[in-house]
Amino acid sequence: MKLTSRFCTVCVVGYTGSVGKHQDPRAAGGVKLCQARQAKDGTIFGKYINSNGKFQEVGEPFVMQQSEIDHWFKMGALNK
């Protein structure tokens, strides 16, 4: 998968706890989406989203290292 300028889901893992500043308990207990995008300057940004049915809790974007995104891609391949 090639990263684009829009956030896309790289892998899905089990719920591990809150990811946002504003917790939404309705989003707890489902899955955590690991999303990433690449800026024009090559910087890779990641963010987490807790999702439980129609409820979502979105975390703040953060800068990622190449080794981190490689790990996410490996986890995503294992989930398929």
In a domain, 1, yes or no: no
For 2, 25, 26, 29, the CA distances from 7, given in Å and listed in that order, are 11, 24, 23, 23
In a domain, 3, yes or no: no
14, β-bridge pairs: 31
pTM: 0.88
User: What percent of the chain shows pLDDT beyond 90?
Assistant: 68
How many structural domains are present in the chain? 1
Q: Above 80 in pLDDT, residue 39?
A: yes
Domain that holds residue 52: 8-78
Give 17-38 pLDDT, tens digit per residue: 899 888 889 999 999 999 999 9
